[in-house]
Amino acid sequence: MIKHIVMWKLKEQAEGADRATNAREMKRRLDECATIVPGILTFEVTLAQPDLEATYDVVLYSEFADRAALEAYIKHPTHQAVVPFIGVIREGRQCMDYEV
């Protein structure tokens, strides 16, 4: 199994919207990727919550059956359609993939 964890810090303003609006839109778009390929075992998109510590605005926690499933997800057109939007609204990104 491969765990794929990504965290994004968003710009205060981008694409004519504020950080909170863009975070919600990003989550909506990423949530559409939750079942796009076989082998996605877990797919959770979470936004920073008020009154809880957070240094990033959006987190994706996902688990894939194997590397092939992760690669299929990354290359899938639905995922690829989200990438440009995230690229414009993000200030920073951290990612870690690891096998368990």
pTM of the model: 0.94
Give long-range contacts, CB 8 A cutoff, 24+ apart: 15-18: 15/85, 15/88, 15/89
Domain definitions of the chain by residue range: 2-99
* φ, ψ dihedrals at 57, nearest 5°: -95, -35
Do 14 and 22 meet the contact criterion of CB atoms below 8 Å apart?
yes
Into which CATH architecture does domain 2-99 fall?
2-Layer Sandwich (3.30)
pLDDT string in tens for the chain (100-residue length): 999 999 999 999 999 999 999 999 999 999 999 999 999 999 999 999 989 999 999 999 999 999 999 999 999 999 999 999 999 999 999 999 999 9
User: Residues 66-96, buried b or exposed e (16+ Cβ, 10 A)?
Assistant: eeebbebbeeeeebeebeebbeebbeeeeee
